[in-house]
Chains A and B, each alone.
Chain A
C-alpha cells in the first residue's frame, strides 16, 4: 500500500504560521494501490526520501537543539535576548519544513499552533512572547526525539532496502573475502556467516527482510511522520489556546461589525438623509412659489432633482461598501471579475469554484481581495495583477500577485492586518511574501464548503 501525496498542500511554510483550523487536521489521506510495481516504486521512493531526510534531520535537529539550549541559557546575561528570537524562529522553520514534508510525502497533516510573534517589538518582548508559547516548548521536546527515534525511523526504509543487497552479495561469494580475512564468523543480522551454506542462510534472511521492506517500507516513513505528529501536534491542553484564539477573533468580529454599523449610520445621517430633507424643503418652497415666481420654482425643482440623484449615488456607494450587488447576484468569482474590471491596472482573474460559499465567507473573501487589490494599485504601483481563486480540500484559496515594488507587511494599522483579523473570524489565514523590489504575493485560505 502506498500513501497518496496530496497535491502540494503548502508550498510556503510561512503560510502555516497561524493555522487555526484543527478540526480536520488529524485526518490522513490514504489510497489503496495493490499493484506490485507501484509498491516497489513506493518502497524505492520511501527509501530515498527517508535516507535524504535522515541525513538532513540529524545535523539539523542537533544544531537547532544545541543553539536553542545555549541561547536560552544566555538570556540572563543578555546575549540570549538577541539570539533567542532568531534561533527559535529557525526552529519553527525547521519544524514547518517537516510539516510540509509530512503532508506532501505521506499525507500526514501536522497542525501548527504558533502564536504570532509581535513584529518589530523589542527583543525582550519577542523573546518572552516566544517562551510563553507552549508550541515553543513542544518544539524543544520534539528535537531530541527527532534526532534519535526520528532519525532511526527515517533511515529504516533505506536500511531494509539496502541491507538485503549485502546478504545477496554474501551468498554470491562475498563471504570468501571475510573468510580469507580470518574472521571466525561474519555476522549478517543474527546469522553467523562461515561458509557457502550459512551465506545462503544470510541470503534467505535478506530475502525475508526485502519481503518485509516491500510491505512495510513506505509505512515506516509514514510511521516517522506520525511520530513527528505525536510530538509536534497540539495536544488536548491546546484547547485552551483554541479558546483564546476564538475569544480574540470573536471580539475582533464584534468590534469590526460595530464600527461598520457606526460608519453606515454616519454616512446615512450626513448623506442621503440630509439630502432627502433638503429635497422635501425645496419641494415645499416650490409649492409656495409656483404662482408667485415660476422661474425660481423651476430652479428649485432642478435642485431637488440634483439632490435626489446625489442621494442615489451616495446610497449606491454605501451599498457597495456593505455588500456589493454583484456578489449578491453572481457570487465571489464574478464579483472579483467585476472588481478587476474597475481597476485602472491590467488584471488577470482566474476562478475555479464549483459552487458558492456561505455568504459571510464570500463577503469576507471579497473585501479581503478588494483591500489587497487597492494596496497593489495604490502603494505597490503595480502595472499587472494576477488573481487566482479556487477551492480544494475544503479550503477556499485566493492568491493575489502583483509586479509592483513589494515591501508589504502585515503590521499594526496596515490594511493587511485588518484583512487578517477579518479572515480570522472564519479561521482563515493570510500570508504575505513581498520582498523589497517585488513581486508581492498575498495568499489567503479560508476553510469552507461550497454549496
Chain B
C-alpha cells in the first residue's frame, strides 16, 4: 500500500517512515511542507495520505487545508490527519463531505503501533478513525442536551464510543472481550434508541453515528 507522509519534524517523520515500512507500507513520498504535499498528492496518487495539521511555510493548518483540497479534487481520497491537539471543529470539516476514508488522531496514538497501523489501514479502506478524545467531547456535549443518549446503558455507551471511533463489530468485540453477536445486539439496540437507520455497511454506520453526535451545531 502506497503512503504519502507529510510531517515537518524530522524525528517524527523518520519514526513514522520506519514504523510504516516495518508494517509493509510503501512510502511513496515523505515531505515536510504544504506545497510539497500538494504536489505529492496530485502526482503520486497514493492509497492513503498521513498528514500533520501544522506544516510550513505558514505553520498554520496548512496540512489540513491541503488534505481537504485534495479530497475535493479526488473525493474519498483516504487521509489520516495527525495533530498535537484535536478539535471538534476540524473533525467536522473532515467529515463534512460524508465520503468516509477519513482519520483524525492525536500524535500520541503512534505510541501504540498496532492500533495506529490498524487506523491507517481502516482509513485506506474507506473507513473512519476518529480520536477517542474527539468522540468523548462529542458525547459529553450531546449528553447534556439529548434525551436518547441518556437512555443508553453504560455498556451501550461504551460500544457507541468505540463505534464512533470507527471500529468494526469484530474489533469492538475483541476490545470488550465479548462475542461479535453480543456487539451486534448492542448495536441494533443503540440504533433503535437513537432512532437511526440500521445499515450493514460498517463505514456508513460510523458516519451515521458521527453525524448524529455532531448534529445541531
> With A and B bound together, what is the CA distance between A344 and B217 in angstroms?
12
> With A and B bound together, what is the CA distance between A50 and B88 in angstroms?
54
Interface string of A310-322 (1 = CB under 8 A from B): 0011001001100
Give residues of chain A (336-373) contacting chain B, Cβ–Cβ below 8 Å: 337-338, 341-346
Decide yes or no: A325 and B85 within 8 Å by CB, A341-B137, A344-B140 being known contacts. Answer: yes
> With A and B bound together, what is the CA distance between A337 and B89 in angstroms?
7
B60 close to chain A: CB less than 8 A: yes
Is B87's CB under 8 angstroms from A326's CB?
Answer: yes
Give residues of chain B (141-181) contacting chain A, Cβ–Cβ below 8 Å: 141, 144-145
> With A and B bound together, what is the CA distance between A334 and B61 in angstroms?
12
A-chain residues with CB within 8 Å of residue B53 when the two chains form the complex: 329
B-chain residues with CB within 8 Å of residue A345 when the two chains form the complex: 144
Q: Tally A residues with Cβ within 8 Å of B.
A: 22
B-chain residues with CB within 8 Å of residue A337 when the two chains form the complex: 89
Pick from B89, B141, B145 the residue with the most CB of A within 10 Å. B89
B23 close to chain A: CB less than 8 A: no
> With A and B bound together, what is the CA distance between A122 and B140 in angstroms?
46
Shortest CB–CB separation between residue A386 and chain B, in angstroms? Answer: 14
Is A342's CB under 8 angstroms from B137's CB?
Answer: yes
Q: Tally B residues with Cβ within 8 Å of A.
A: 20
B111 close to chain A: CB less than 8 A: yes
B-chain residues with CB within 8 Å of residue A309 when the two chains form the complex: 108, 111
Is A341's CB under 8 angstroms from B217's CB?
Answer: yes
Is A316's CB under 8 angstroms from B84's CB?
Answer: yes
> With A and B bound together, what is the CA distance between A346 and B83 in angstroms?
26
> With A and B bound together, what is the CA distance between A284 and B77 in angstroms?
44
Shortest CB–CB separation between residue A404 and chain B, in angstroms? Answer: 15
Decide yes or no: A308 and B141 within 8 Å by CB, A326-B87, A341-B217 being known contacts. Answer: no
Is A319's CB under 8 angstroms from B89's CB?
Answer: no
Is B145's CB under 8 angstroms from A342's CB?
Answer: no
B54 close to chain A: CB less than 8 A: yes
Is A341's CB under 8 angstroms from B87's CB?
Answer: yes
A378 close to chain B: CB less than 8 A: no
Is A341's CB under 8 angstroms from B111's CB?
Answer: no
Is A341's CB under 8 angstroms from B141's CB?
Answer: yes
Interfacial residues, chain A to chain B (CB-CB below 8 A): 305, 308-309, 312-313, 316, 319-320, 325-326, 328-330, 334, 337-338, 341-346
Closest 4 pairs between A and B when the two form their complex, measured CB to CB: A329-B61, A341-B88, A338-B89, A329-B60
Query: What would 17 A/B residue contacts be, using CB atoms closer than 8 Å?
Result: A309-B111, A312-B108, A325-B54, A325-B83, A326-B85, A328-B59, A328-B60, A329-B60, A330-B60, A338-B88, A341-B87, A341-B88, A341-B89, A341-B137, A341-B141, A342-B88, A344-B141
